[in-house]
Structure 1
Amino acid sequence: MSLQHKVWLITGCSTGFGRHIAKQAIEAGYKVIVTARKVEQIQDLTSGNEENTLALPLDVTNHEQIISTVKQAIEKFGRIDVLVNNAGIGYFSSVEESVEEETRRMFEINFWGLMHMTNAVLPYMRAQKSGHIINFSSIGGLTSFPTLGYYHATKYAVEGISESLAKELIPFNIAVTLIEPSGFRTDWGGRSSVKTDTQIPEFKESVVGQMLKGVQHSGGQESGDPVKAAAAVIKVVETSKPPLRLLLGKAAYQAATHKFTTMLADMEEWKEITINADYE
């Protein structure tokens, strides 16, 4: 199969990474299903190219919409080769001040929505003995920062299940890639995130308060270019040996390097006690 005959299904295409990936995949000649909760926000992506594209309304927390989206994609194009699980939201608050209802909603979107999409598509990929699942994680899926504890929890969950899934799908020639960006100029820190106001006085002057203030002023100033990120995702799909993980952004590389260097140092320092915990 030529590259351009591949069929992409992308979630969260109204803004940010999803929109840029959809635009570049369409321009490259792929067949693309673009989705968003409000379909009118993405119809410009498919206008004039309805033969090779399809715009559908999709809330990844709505299981009926997920099934309908996959069904319509198969009816129109006969297959799904690439699933990009991009839809997601952020949440800013200290762990102690976080609101359970809000964090559970984030899990429904970031983790369960991603998994329900994946499980809806997998039977078709297994039947065709090929496919590629792109799961958007974050540098926050590898290392953690103050005020993002529950967000990190969703992304660590995506990381863990994606590793298992990648190993399970090897016999079916289906690849899994985790995308791990640092700060990019998308809408993630804006309307795509929930910010809970600090209520505990002791946190206001701590690193929690400082981080929350920083978030308010950093929107639109991030160093990451979403156009370049989208091009990187296209390249990963087109390569013959895609990676399990792809870091995006200098800050992501630096943070991951620091995390694993520190982790390795701790492992070596405590190696003797670690090994001696086994039976003789």
Structure 2
Amino acid sequence: MALAQTTEKAESRAVELSIDGKTRIFDIDNPELPEWIDDEAFASDDYPYKKKLDEEEYLETLEALQVELVKVQLWQQKTGKRMMALFEGRDAAGKGGAIQATLSNLNPRWARIVALTKPTETERGQWYFQRYVATMPTAGEFVLFDRSWYNRAGVEPVMGFCTPEQYKQFLKQAPRFEKMIVHEDIQFFKFWINVGREMQLKRFHDRRHDPLKIWKLSPMDIAALNKWDDYTAKRNEMLKATHTDHAPWTVVRGNDKRRARLNLIRHILTALDYDGKDKGAIGEVDDKIVGSGPGFLK
């Protein structure tokens, strides 16, 4: 009832979008999804498949991969190996779901999520990377970052939350910072989950009209609706400047969350040499879904 009252009082948030040379009107408060979004969402950004992976196949494969992840955790506890994975992407790309699929059957005492809020006044006065260092893994631990220090390469410069000088300095410092992580013998993964524009709009609309998901839709999401090209430019600059031999970017096409999650987990498992590894259960990473660095995206 509170949601309905809020909807009645809210002003229209219809925006005019320019997409592929066409002017489109998108009103996120209208419960009816525009036909052009519904028609174009799955294929947006040249997605290579026509439909979602079958749910039964997805769940069966996911369970097999999660068994392998449990083996990885036991191996970590035995060897003390530390692991980190950061998940980046536009809003509604599927970062949170991919993290949950990875962690859902692991012991939470040894696998945790880091999702930092905006910095405090004290943190704003510190070295930019300082608050992230405090969250890094101890022996035997797997830490997954739901967004990371790469806020300074995307949302901050696009929305004006940092200066141009801070942005440029970040692009220079990040590869050096990550070299220290790798030299510390921490297994380090960086994932960019990519989503097409129409698919992002569809997911925003789904969140707006699902009372269980509406908390995921933030004022920042609405403010960014007309900044797609700005975010694309910053994404490309980020990938170019921070894709290195010691800390490469793994790009995952995310229009189908099922394929994205399975292949992201496969990528992690393929990179590790753990006890009892079952290559048959892991399978092959789909090179239509997963690629390396800026060259994988148009």
Q: TM-score, normalised by structure 2?
A: 0.39
TM superposition score normalised by structure 1:
0.41
Higher relative contact order (CA 8 A, sep 6+): 2
